[in-house]
Amino acid sequence: MKTLNKMKSFIILLTSFFMGSVALAGETQEAVAPAVERARLLYEKFGMTSTQLFIVMLLVTIVLVIVVAALSFNAKHVIEFKMNKKGQNTVKALLLLVGLFSSTGAMAAEDAASAVTFSVPFPDESFYIFLGFDIILLLIILYLTGLMNGMLYEFVQQRKRVFWRRMSKSLTDATPIEDEGSILLDHDYDGIKELDNNLPPWWKYGFYITIVWAFGYVIYYHMLGGTLQTEEYEIAMAEADADIEAYKKAHPELITVDNVELLTDKSALAQGRTIFEEKCQVCHMEGGRGGVGPNLTDENWIYEGDIKGIFESIYGGRSNGMQPWNGILNGAEIQAVASYIYHLEPILPPEGQDPKGDNIYKR
């Protein structure tokens, strides 16, 4: 019975091929008549010679036919698998259609192939036949992909449902509601009863993991000397301090009179000394013993003599002949030179200038 059916389809398929070919053979003979004028129009329309256009159309058609054939064979299998007779028939009909069309296409191709050999232009009619054929093929492809998508979706949904059911069973190990009677305990607390469900495996394994973890924790942190929280905190704070220092170095303009600090490290003082010798010594003389500018080494100050006051004198200048250095020196440089001045060795009269100012600052 089955073989008979198959033979029937095959014969119908063959006939359709044949008929398609015959149908076209009659027509195209006339269409190939020399239509040079039409070829010229074609060229203007598509920017291709008729031969090129023909090759393009042929290739497109061949690809489409292959896609449709592949899709319909697949769709047929899937539908067979799902035992859906109606769908099967639709796809069979489609297969027949493809047979018909591909034979038409093949025929048109043959005609046009002779056209290529003899350089006879690819006639308009053939072009439109190709075009119509291609559009129908595209529609078939759309239909088939829609069909397959629908089936694939259903299949995937089903697989998902089974997967989740299994998953939930293995995670909770719960007795299904239908069988709950079998695990109901005897006692009854004012109508409230208790089910003797198993502990959910997800919870049990989580608990085992914490036990293993505890051993690992004690061994790592308290026997092998892992970094404890307080230590971690101190390390993090030290890192942050280093970062702040680096940031301050990179942004000297951040040092102002509000946050200036007395520096004591050698490199900062050396930097301050260099600045002093280059910029300040002309007026304040070597070692700051005083010249045009006052003695910076004694305990007497015209203005404030702490680090903030010195910073301010340099940063903003002072009215009687001390220029502002803001803009020439940056905050960090002023801080360095102020710290240097703060650390100067006392040079008192007669080597140094007489003290000026009534503000006394011991250092």
Footprint on this chain of ligand HEC (rule: CB under 6 A): 279-280, 282-284, 292-294, 296, 301-303, 310, 313-314, 318-322, 325, 337, 341, 357
CA distance linking residue 226 with residue 210, whole number of Å = 19
- Exposure of 335 by Cβ count < 10 A (0-12 exposed, 13-18 middle, 19+ buried)? buried
CA distance linking residue 275 with residue 333, whole number of Å = 8
- By beta-carbon proximity to ligand HEC, the closer residue of 39 and 296 is 296
In the complex, minimum distance from the CB of residue 317 to ligand HEC, in angstroms, rounded to a whole number: 8
- By beta-carbon proximity to ligand HEC, the closer residue of 346 and 357 is 357
- Residue 203: HSE in the Cβ half-sphere, 13 Å Cα cutoff: 6
- By beta-carbon proximity to ligand HEC, the closer residue of 191 and 327 is 327
- Exposure of 96 by Cβ count < 10 A (0-12 exposed, 13-18 middle, 19+ buried)? middle
Using an 8 Å Cβ cutoff, are 221 and 228 in contact?
yes
In the complex, minimum distance from the CB of residue 352 to ligand HEC, in angstroms, rounded to a whole number: 13
- By beta-carbon proximity to ligand HEC, the closer residue of 53 and 344 is 344
- By beta-carbon proximity to ligand HEC, the closer residue of 74 and 330 is 330
CA distance linking residue 342 with residue 235, whole number of Å = 33
| Rg of the chain taking only CA atoms, in angstroms | 49
In the complex, minimum distance from the CB of residue 304 to ligand HEC, in angstroms, rounded to a whole number: 7
Tokens of 224: 């092998």
- Exposure of 331 by Cβ count < 10 A (0-12 exposed, 13-18 middle, 19+ buried)? buried
In the complex, minimum distance from the CB of residue 335 to ligand HEC, in angstroms, rounded to a whole number: 11
CA distance linking residue 106 with residue 194, whole number of Å = 78
- By beta-carbon proximity to ligand HEC, the closer residue of 182 and 319 is 319
- By beta-carbon proximity to ligand HEC, the closer residue of 80 and 354 is 354
In the complex, minimum distance from the CB of residue 232 to ligand HEC, in angstroms, rounded to a whole number: 44
CA distance linking residue 9 with residue 195, whole number of Å = 63
In the complex, minimum distance from the CB of residue 292 to ligand HEC, in angstroms, rounded to a whole number: 5
CA distance linking residue 289 with residue 303, whole number of Å = 17
In the complex, minimum distance from the CB of residue 251 to ligand HEC, in angstroms, rounded to a whole number: 21
- By beta-carbon proximity to ligand HEC, the closer residue of 98 and 275 is 275
In the complex, minimum distance from the CB of residue 351 to ligand HEC, in angstroms, rounded to a whole number: 18
CA nearest to 361, candidates 311, 302, 312: 302
Count of CB atoms situated within 10 Å of the CB of 148: 16
CA distance linking residue 107 with residue 132, whole number of Å = 15
